[in-house]
Amino acid sequence: MVKYNLYFGEEAVEYYKPATPETELQTLIDDPDEFKKFKKDHEDNINLLIAERDALATERDKEKAEKKTLTDELADEKKNRDAEKKALEAEILKLDTANKVIEADNKKLQKAINERNAKIAGMVNKADYDAKAKEATDAITALGNKTTEYNVLDGLRYWNERNTERKRIDEKDLNTIATIVGHGGSTIAINDPSDDEE
């Protein structure tokens, strides 16, 4: 039996396998009138098969278009993801390089600090430094004590001078009063507190 495909394309699909014997098929091929009669008798079925074929072809074309669209979208998405990945890898590499530079700078700085500390330790004797520091502290303390002592003595001197001046003024006032009271040649004796004590 001969097999017939109703649609020929990239994927030939076999829709119909006629049950007509090969001799009858050969008659239809050889006799145009018989073919016309056969075609007329089976026209509805043929048209239906053609419509189904066209519908299937349209559906397949639609699916192929959707498949192409999805494939293109996936390709674009993959391209975008690859670009983002490369950008992130470049940024990571940049940060890693910067981090290595910072680590190298930190090592140089620490080395310089260690060298400076060693140099200072070699220049300064800690015992001598502590002794000089204590000496300076003691000198400052002694100066503070002297300042306090001076202030106390200065205060005492001020009050002593003030009392002396006040006593001098009091004696002057007493002499003036004695002169006024003893006018006309009279004299007034002013008792000294020391006389009473005797």
175 within 8 A of 187, measured Cβ to Cβ: no
Question: Could you list the residue range(s) of the whole structural domain that residue 76 is in?
Answer: 42-120
* pLDDT computed for residue 172 by the predictor: 61
Whether 116 and 47 map to the same domain: the answer is: yes
Cα 70 to Cα 6, 82, 178: the distances in Å are 29, 18, 135
Tens of pLDDT, residues 14-48: 544 555 556 676 777 777 787 778 777 777 777 88
Task: Using the predicted structure, report yes or no on whether residue 193 has a pLDDT greater than 60.
Answer: no
Tens of pLDDT, residues 92-123: 999 989 989 999 999 999 998 888 888 877 77
Domain count, the chain: 2
Whether 137 and 188 map to the same domain: the answer is: yes
Q: What is the pTM of this model?
A: 0.33
In a domain, residue 164? The reply is yes
In a domain, residue 60? The reply is yes
Token pair for residue 96? 């890693």
Q: Determine which helix (DSSP H) or strand (DSSP E) holds 2, and give its type and residue range.
A: none
DSSP state of 190: -
Residue ending a domain, among 99, 120, 141, is: 120
Whether 77 and 108 map to the same domain: the answer is: yes
Residue 13: which of 27, 22, 3 has the closest Cα?
A: 3
In a domain, residue 67? The reply is yes
Whether 71 and 137 map to the same domain: the answer is: no
For residues 144-167, average pLDDT: 74
For the chain, give the percent of residues with pLDDT over 90: 22
